[in-house]
Amino acid sequence: MKQVYVLLLIIILTSCSNQQVGEANRFYPVNKPPLKQTALVKLPLGAVKPAGWLKDQLIVQSKGLTGHLDEFWPDIKNSAWKGGDGEAWERGPYYLDGLIPLAYLLDDENLKKKAETFVRWIIRSSKEDGWFGPDKNNDRWPLAVASKDLMQYYEATGNEQVLDVLKKYFHYLATHPPDWPDSTWRGVRAMENAVTGYWLYRQTGEREILQVIESIQKNSYDWTKYYYEFPWDSQAVAEHKLPLNWKADGLTAHVVNNAMAVKYPGLWYQQSKDECFRQAVYEALAKYDKNHGQVGGRFSGDEHLHGRSPVQGTELCSVVEYMFSLEQLLEVLGDPALADRLETLAYNALPATVTPDYWAHQYDQQANQVLVTLDERDWSTNGPESNLYGLMPNYPCCLANMHQGWPKFVQSLWMATHDNGLAAVTLGPSVVTAKVGDGATVTIKEETEYPFDGKIRFKIETDKAVAFPLYVRIPDWAKDVKITIGDETVPAKAGQFVKLERKWQNGNAVEILLPMKLRSEKRYRGAVSILRGPLYFALRIGKKYNKIKIKSRNTYSIDYMGSVDWEIRPTSAWNYGLVIDPDRLEKNLRIRRNPIRSLPFADAGEMVYDEEKNKYVKWPYEAPVVIEAPAVELNGWNIVRNSAGEVPQSPIEADGKRTMVTLVPYGSTRLRISEFPYIK
């Protein structure tokens, strides 16, 4: 007998905030008065698990640097944050910020034990007045990071000792004078404490916590004013007016500080309820895009902000911190456009700056990156090793901080709603188990190869029929979306949430097709970038890998398993202009799909670590999506100062011989051109 599906309600929403009018989720901690309610509700660590290729990606991370760093890098192996005599500032807490969620998302007992070594010591270090951490540290900044670690650990384990440490620390802040100088990291990043503070207030309802956050807002650097005035724009870059220093003014031009700070007005909006703080978030996003925006959703900063040229770098720390800021803002504001931005970063900028085996990373990535070598480049202040793929090129902070990107992104795939439903906020293969409706526990499996493919299937598993709303975000680029439930077709609009409300039965499924039409994006000097779905595509360039040993400034090589420092040089031409009509790409470009392999972002010819053989081998498989495009080599476009020269102004005239070139996902490239001149 044919099953009949009855759809009770279909509503298209521009934001998930529209669905909560006086409502609050019954099953998960939510904002208490006097705070403004968040638009969405974060699920506890472990409620969302990775599946499919995304689980493979996290497994790769667990077998790479994240899973082994504590075994050989002195700053983590001997970290003072677990009782050692080593580094006592931010590196231990940074590492833990990614290790904890990775361990519990994979349910990996070995990783859990590594995390517990830190957490147990941190609990023991808590003093009567509330201060905690290594005795030789007297700076509040690393405690802000460690507080986020403890927050995640509590969600995963329910360990009340962790909650006690956090309550005591916020009491310490409440009973000690403000100490947030603008000339310090703890000053410009002071509102990072609000992440844990608002979370802790949801758990305890202690008003003292809100007093602490208000004091921090009043006594630390005013990022909201900064975003409305935005002194460090592209003109300031062109006129060499950016303060390239580590003083108070230089810290406001620092790329990681900017990536962290973009969430601060949005966090404070919960308490102030003043729309100027909400609007400041959008001022920030628009100004970063206009003045420093780069392919892959990031903004430039080769330590300090540096304009829109595709050869300027972006620090890895800023990528993962920008992702976390967007995840926080999604919870507060519920704006689907924020999820579009988050996916762009996660599926492009993050994998591009780390090797596919997760054994090496860059400090700075470039949109047009044609040479990865130990050489001087036109960075703001970074050193010659900054675009190497290695253990710790340039400053070691990224080696400690890189681990949070994928695990926190997985947690952001799903959130709860205030009408006791669930929202697929960002898209990717996953499984969510949560309470909905009248308190029933349901599991939803999201089966998909997204972002490489636009087909998504949500399968409902429940012990009994249960009524609840299921929200699905439709990306802004997705036109002519098709949603079906059984024989029923559901309307949906791009850039919005669609609300599917019904009494769900075990085995019900929602099928979604997001047509991934090729599109172009105008970039620096009229260049174009090619996109399909959330993925940017870049030129595949032949690669020659060379292992090197480096010791300069802050970095050095360590031989341990897959730990390596790579120079990568091109073995094929890179200076191509595409022969395309940017408005009719399907006329010239051809797409080919390949299976997603165990290293999801690897492409043919990459050197990857084979743990069984304990050596590097050449990866034989192509990336999951390949595009063939007509192009002409531009002989006048050459390397300048060890980077691609300035991209020629487009459109251009070129009479050279046409050839077909291959484009692969930006995240699957170590050498690339992603901002192309084009020939009409």
Residue 628 near residue 589 (C-beta atoms within 8 A): yes
Strands (E), 505-606: 509-513, 518-522, 528-532, 535-539, 543-547, 551-552, 555-556, 566-570, 576-579, 590-593
Confidence at 23, pLDDT banded by 50, 70, 90: confident
> What is the spatial distance between Cα 320 and Cα 408, in angstroms, rounded to a whole number?
9
* Residue 45 φ/ψ, nearest 5 degrees: -55, 125
What are the CA-CA distances from residue 54 to residues 155, 411, 514, 598 (Å)? 22, 12, 19, 10
- Rounded CA-CA distance 106/110 in Å is 10
Question: What does pLDDT average to over the chain?
Answer: 96
Q: Is 374 or 5 the better-scoring residue by pLDDT?
A: 374
* Distance, CA of 308 to CA of 288 (rounded, Å): 10
Residue 514's CB is within 10 A of a number of other CB atoms, namely: 26
Contact 277, 266 (CB under 8 A): yes
Separation CA 532–CA 539 (nearest Å): 14
Handedness of CA 91, 97, 98, 99 (dihedral sign): positive
Contact at 8 Å (CB) between 62 and 111? Answer: yes
Residue 166, CA distances (Å) to 44, 144, 169 in order: 17, 10, 5
Which string of DSSP letters, residue by residue, matches 163-222? HHHHHHHHHHHHHS-----TTSHHHHTGGGHHHHHHHHHHHH--HHHHHHHHHHHHHS--
How much is the average pLDDT of 291-307?
A: 98
d(CA 268, CA 259): 16
Residue 528: is its pLDDT beyond 90? yes
Q: What is the 3-state secondary structure (H, E, C) of 225-294?
A: HHHHHCCCCHHHHHCCCCCCCCCHHHHHCEHHHHHHHCCHHHHHHHHHCCHHHHHHHHHHHHHHHHHHEC
- Give the chain's length: 680
More reliable by pLDDT, 322 or 8: 322
**Residue 9 confidence (pLDDT):** 44
pLDDT band for 556, please (50, 70, 90 cuts): confident
In terms of Cβ atoms closer than 10 Å to its own Cβ (0-12, 13-18, 19+), residue 4 is exposed
**Which are the contacts of 612, defined by CB distance < 8 A and separation ≥ 6?**
none
Residues 214-252: pLDDT tens digits?
A: 999 999 999 999 999 999 999 999 999 999 999 999 999
Q: In one letter, which amino acid is 266? A: G
Buried b (16+ CB within 10 A) or exposed e, 572-608: ebbbbbbbbebeebeeebeeeeeebbebbbbbbbbbb
Q: What percent of the chain has pLDDT over 70?
A: 96
Are 118 and 92 within 8 A, CB to CB?
Answer: yes
Phi then psi dihedrals of residue 414, to 5 deg: -130, 145
Tens of pLDDT, residues 336-366:
999 999 999 999 999 999 999 999 999 999 9
User: Which pLDDT score is estimated for 647?
Assistant: 97
Query: What is the distance between the alpha carbons of residues 2 and 487, in angstroms, rounded to a whole number?
Result: 10
Give me 37's structure tokens. Answer: 């309610």
Integer Cα distance of 272 and 155 in angstroms: 27
236-249 exposure pattern, b = at least 16 Cβ within 10 A, e = fewer: bbeeeebbeeeeee
- Residue 200 CB: number of other CB atoms within 10 A? 24
Closest alpha carbon to 472 in 21, 156, 24, 12? 12
> pLDDT tens for residues 141-155?
999 999 999 999 999
DSSP-derived pairing of the beta strands 576-579 and 678-679: parallel
| CA–CA distance, 126 with 562 (Å, rounded to integer) | 36
Specify the pLDDT at position 22. Answer: 62
Q: What is the pLDDT of residue 16?
A: 56
Tell me how far apart the alpha carbons of residues 310 and 647 are, in angstroms, rounded to a whole number.
8
In sequence order, the 6+-apart residues with CB closer than 8 A to the CB of 245 are none
- Please report which confidence band the pLDDT of residue 3 belongs to, taking 50, 70 and 90 as the band edges: very low
Mean local confidence (pLDDT), 423-452: 99
Q: What pTM, to 2 d.p., does this model score?
A: 0.97
Distance CA 473, CA 430 (A): 15
